[in-house]
Structure 1
């Protein structure tokens, strides 16, 4: 029973992702030429092998966000000041 439940959950993940990928096209105010995101080319990793890459991606994304935040804080300090 647990295996059937896991398979149903996995199928739900694929359906959900497919709907999210096509959702830009279904948007009522989508611009002409809007294309759906490409569908996943490889299946979800069930044994956790790909998790290391996703952790590295999360760390890289966190660092990019931190750098962006620092830039915005620097820009905010000069907001509204006249430059000569």
Structure 2
């Protein structure tokens, strides 16, 4: 796994995608599923102290590219909100 980073409005969105192998106590998903971790920082260096949200929110994707695109999108929207609160 590796971080993908994009600069946006003076901040950085850092994304790491991963293959979801299975969730204990849940039905296995059809095919591969991908999840993501997203960080928003003022620096271009990601921090390894990221937190993945609850697996029960069903925010999984069928391809690595789709998970990465979603994470970058949500990271940029979060930056928009932070800057609007200003």
TM-score where L is the length of structure 2:
0.35
Bigger radius of gyration: 1
TM-score where L is the length of structure 1:
0.35
Higher relative contact order (CA 8 A, sep 6+): 2
Q: Which has the larger share of strand?
A: 2
